[in-house]
Chain A
Amino acid sequence: MTTYFIRRLLLTIPTFIGITLLVFVITRFVPGGPVERMVTQAQIANAEMGIEQIDGVGGSTLSEEQLAQLNAYYGFDKPVIISYFLWLKKVLTFDLGTSSRYNEPVWDIIVERFPVSIFYGLLTLVITYSVCIPLGILKAIKHSTPIDHFSSALVFLGYAIPNYVFGIILISLFASHWDIFPLGGFVSYEFDDLTFFEKVVDLLRHAVLPLLSYLIGSFAVMTMMMKNSLMDNLAADYVRTAMAKGLTFKDAILKHAIRNSLIPLATSFGHTISFVLTGSFLVETIFNIDGMGLLGYESLVERDYPVVLGILVISSGLFLLGNILSDLCVAIVDPRVQFN
């Protein structure tokens, strides 16, 4: 098994290179890249100020020297592959460059946001699993009863509504209309002056609405996955054997079927982990939570490409790690899994 995981780990390297190269090349070759954009911005700015073009050499109002500097900064003066590997070499030493907006190292900026994303991610993870597994079991046992139908309808409604739309509903009702919860943010401005107890309350009050939006989508998938896989197992021969030996239905489920039906959930565990850290652009933007999602969105709007690429590197890295973690979970839950 160890060799399998080592091989898996090694296989992530070409995939990682593939992803980053893909995006790197796209940002380079698509018309209107960072340099071109700066040139046009400079032109617009000049036009607005009414400055006449004096040099008359070309359309560019940035001087040749400035252009060369910009090109060198983005590595545009070298062939793609070379500048890609230069960039990759820096990435491997956790040097993601410097943010053009904050003028700080990208790595530091991203790490700063980790606590926020981890807070929401972990809570979402724990709540999802602790609600969906029991609910799925209940739905499987009570298949085709009113409880099953009713919860299915609710769960599917939750599935149909995208989490950002649900977030907008929540914020307009409970924050704007009724003013029960704050409009957004991670904590209040006066957070530092509060006592410990007040701090906890403040944090939780801010967390209720975003958490609900995070949960709504994952509920449906998890619950139905649990239910269907348990239903599959309930129809399996080994459950029949167990019951033929005189086990009660309850024991057959709790002692035999459930363990096996957790396998599909284990496969999705790794993906949840990567989601834990990267959060959601949409939910974080709506609730103005200063996590990685909002950072990614803002740096895109501000054209802060070092941060954009940095977030991409970290989220795809996490995703790949999550995949391996999934395999590990499956191996733990399912001893039949052979890794050859």
Chain B
Amino acid sequence: MHLHPLTAKKIQRFKSIKRGYWSGVILVLLMVLSCMAELIANSRALVVSYNNKLYFPTYGAFIPGNYFGLDYKYETNYRQLKHIFQQEQSGNWVLMPPIPYNPYESNTIAGQYPPHAPSWSQQHYLGTDAAGRDVAARIIYGFRLSMAFSMLLLIFNYAIGTTIGCLMGYRGGAFDIIFQRIIEIWSSVPTLYVIMIVASIMIPDFWVLIAILVFFEWIGITWYMRTSTYKEKSRTYTLAAKALGASDSRIILHHLLPNSISVLITFIPFSIASGITTLTALDYLGFGLPPPTPSWGELLRQGIGNLSYHWIAGSVVTAMVCILTMVTWVGEAVRESFDPKKFTYYE
């Protein structure tokens, strides 16, 4: 891939900021891993070896229990199957994921009421929540969900915000004035509250929630893009391009956008952090994704409701603090390398 030397320099500078760079590496790794969450936390086995044939039940349709010689036709309980195979000692075996629970099933231990404390023997490494669902599994799936959520939110917000911002800066005139007023109204709306109001009226699913948030948050980037386009538009290179007969769309896409993009990039990590924070806050308040969706906010709510079961709040708070700190560190490093502020002073 051919990179502009300036861009290469910026990336080099980002890599040299160790804290941000390694946070970025870890985050990307976690995101890739979370895409394979089914292989990490799942009630389905990774591999089943039955009568010398291998089965991989993780993805695809479920395999009924009578397939493996059990006496029921609903989905195989692989944890049980593993136990049975171990007792039979007939050469059949089951390999379970590291966390052998999916985020929706409630696993109640006989003679105890959930939430269950963390236990290695039960393989509930972070315990269970009040409904007996594995906390670790819910945190992993919740991470995947909130990451996907904030990424999508970011893409939509930036697509709309950049388009309108560029047009405002480039066109000016009535278009600019109308959208200035709209932005003023939108930015004076108490966003979280209005989102809560809308979410309380229509119980949102994943896409509806994204739509609601985009509707109120697209202005975040618009103003910066407007200013940036406006500034770049008056530079001589734009004038030159115009004199050469470049069309408006060419000027915007090939000249103005590449020169304004560094502003955009420095905002990305902070937007992701705010996406996660907002989704978690909405889930916490009960205006987010409907239950039983695995979400950090719902776990926080349970944690604060059952403070004596410290593993619930403890696990999810630790996860959130780690992820958000890393995202912020990446953001700090990106800002440092893409929009460096060099200070000189006299002493």
Contact = CB atoms under 8 A, between A and B. Distances in A.
Given A281-B285, A312-B194, A312-B197, A161 B303 contact: no
A46 to B, nearest CB: 21
B174 interface: no
B277 A162 contact: yes
Interface string B156-191: 000000000000000000000000010011001110
A19 B189 contact: yes
Interface residues of A, number: 57
Interface in B286-309: 286-287, 300, 303-304, 307-308
Interface string A226-238: 0010011011000
Given A165-B300, A172-B307, A315-B190, A27 B197 contact: yes
Contact of B190 (A162, A243, A282, A312): A312
A22 B273 CA distance: 27
A26 B308 CA distance: 41
A249 interface: yes
A301 B286 contact: yes
Contacts of A240: 346
B16 interface: no
A132 interface: no
A169 B320 CA distance: 11
Nearest to A280: B192
B34 interface: no
B307 A15 contact: no
B142 to A, nearest CB: 14
Given A278-B190, A282-B284, A300-B196, A172 B324 contact: no
Contacts of B188: 15, 19, 316, 319-320, 323
B54 interface: no
B181 A156 contact: no
Interface in A12-58: 14-15, 18-19, 22-23, 26-27, 30-33, 37
B345 A282 contact: no
Interface stretch (B91-99, B121-129, B325-333): B325-333
A18 B188 CA distance: 10
Contact of A161 (B193, B304, B321, B344): B321
B117 interface: no
A266 interface: no
A326 to B, nearest CB: 12
A335 B192 CA distance: 36
A129 interface: no
Given A30-B202, A172-B303, A164 B190 contact: no
Interface in A283-340: 285-286, 296-297, 300-301, 303, 308, 311-312, 315-316, 319-320, 323
Contacts of B284: 164, 282
Given A162-B324, A231-B343, A316 B189 contact: yes
B201 A316 contact: no
Interface stretch (B36-44, B106-114, B226-234, B310-318): B310-318
Interface residues of B, number: 47
A29 to B, nearest CB: 10
B344 A156 contact: no
A122 interface: no
B346 A239 contact: yes
Contacts of B328: 156, 159-160
A194 interface: no
A303 B201 CA distance: 9
Contacts of B308: 176
Interface in A246-304: 249, 278, 281-282, 285-286, 296-297, 300-301, 303
A286 B300 CA distance: 10
A315 B325 CA distance: 31
A7 interface: no
Contacts of B184: 15
Given A281-B285, A300-B197, 10 more contacts: A23-B189, A156-B325, A160-B328, A161-B320, A165-B320, A169-B317, A176-B310, A231-B341, A231-B345, A316-B190
In the A-B complex, the 9 residue pairs with the smallest Cβ-Cβ separation, listed nearest first, are A18-B185, A160-B328, A234-B345, A176-B307, A160-B325, A160-B324, A162-B277, A231-B343, A30-B201
